[in-house]
Amino acid sequence: MIGIFDSGIGGLTVAREVMRALPDCPVCYLGDTARTPYGNKSPETVTRYAIQDTEFLLAQGAMVVVVACNTASAAAYHALRQTFDIPLFEVITPVVETVLSLPKIQRIGVIGTRATVASGIYERMIRERDPQKSVFSKACPLLVPLVEEGWMNKPETRMIVKKYLHSLKVRQVDALILGCTHYPLLKDVVQQKIGKRVRVIDSSQAVANSLVRFLEDRPELHDKLRSSDPSCLYVTDVTEQFAKIAQSILQRNVSLTHVEL
């Protein structure tokens, strides 16, 4: 099966796209809801959690693991590569490659958690590939709690998004990367506040596409993934709120299994 993990619900936006792109491959999702969020924690702590999350998915039979959390992708991907000998996907490279493949994009904005923005990973990756691009980042630490409250369309949320995006709007970015897997749930309000002419890009589809391309070259692995156990959804803490939002993201009934890490 395909293992996918996140600190909580955000990664479900990635899981949804992976399930759409590869409907015949069961997915094992882990949301580390007992320790969520990761975005305001240190790289060391996030790395420790990401290693435990990956170990758990491997124990469930995952043959491929997707780190569906920007904070963990930024802080822990390198450590995960060194620790585990399986195909590992993160959510940063695919979206960077997507934005660089678009025409007429010179100035790129990035929004993310405090930890993701502090890592500087987007600037580094974009400038390594194209030193001519300008990159401007902004940490938006309140957006995750707002999404987790389901406040996607409240006036307070629109005001906070507007405040966060102000500095990027002033810089006249051509594209805006949603550098957190929670943010696709705020895509409409972000698009409205940053302006219609700005391309707003999230990683979920780009990640699913890179997984599809990877499996096209490896038909044997694809066959193995197809024949694995049915999809499952694990959480380290069970709350009603999580079940409610998970259901609305995946648009199906979900059954959660509680695990302790």
Catalytic residues: 69, 180
229 binds its own copies (CB under 8 A): no
98 binds its own copies (CB under 8 A): no
Of 96 and 144, the one with the shorter C-beta distance to its own copies is: 144
Instruction: List Cβ neighbours of 30 (8 Å cut-off, separation of 6 or more).
Output: 3, 4, 5, 6, 53, 56, 57, 234, 235, 236, 259
Provide DSSP, 155-212: HHHHHHHHHHHHHHHHTT-SEEEEESTTGGGGHHHHHHHH-TTSEEEEHHHHHHHHHH
For the bound state, the minimum distance from the C-beta of residue 246 to its own copies, rounded and expressed in Å, comes to: 14
| Cα separation, 243 vs 237, whole angstroms | 11
End-to-end CA distance of the chain: 20
Measuring CA to CA, which residue among 72, 249, 208, 69 is closest to residue 241? 249
153, 239, 247, 257: residue in contact with its own copies (rule CB under 8 A): 239
Binding part of the chain for its own copies, among 10-18, 62-70, 83-91, 139-147 by CB under 8 A, reads 139-147
Instruction: List Cβ neighbours of 174 (8 Å cut-off, separation of 6 or more).
Output: 104, 105, 106, 107, 108, 197, 198, 199
For the bound state, the minimum distance from the C-beta of residue 195 to its own copies, rounded and expressed in Å, comes to: 21
19 binds its own copies (CB under 8 A): no
Of 103 and 155, the one with the shorter C-beta distance to its own copies is: 155
How many residues form the binding site for its own copies (CB under 8 A)? 26
241 binds its own copies (CB under 8 A): yes
173, 177, 236, 256: residue in contact with its own copies (rule CB under 8 A): 236
167 binds its own copies (CB under 8 A): no
For the bound state, the minimum distance from the C-beta of residue 130 to its own copies, rounded and expressed in Å, comes to: 31
86, 127, 151, 152: residue in contact with its own copies (rule CB under 8 A): 151
61, 78, 81, 156: residue in contact with its own copies (rule CB under 8 A): 156
Phi, psi (rounded to 5 degrees) for 150? 75, 20
146, 175, 176, 215: residue in contact with its own copies (rule CB under 8 A): 146
Of 99 and 245, the one with the shorter C-beta distance to its own copies is: 245
Measuring CA to CA, which residue among 14, 122, 137 is closest to residue 67? 14
Binding part of the chain for its own copies, among 97-105, 127-135, 154-162, 190-198 by CB under 8 A, reads 154-162
127, 237, 243, 248: residue in contact with its own copies (rule CB under 8 A): 237
Length of the chain: 261
Phi, psi (rounded to 5 degrees) for 162? -60, -45
Measuring CA to CA, which residue among 216, 234, 198, 175 is closest to residue 11? 234
Measuring CA to CA, which residue among 11, 65, 40, 13 is closest to residue 142? 40
Residues contributing to the site for its own copies (CB under 8 A): 33-35, 40-42, 44-45, 114, 141-142, 145-146, 148-149, 151, 155-156, 159-160, 163, 236-239, 241
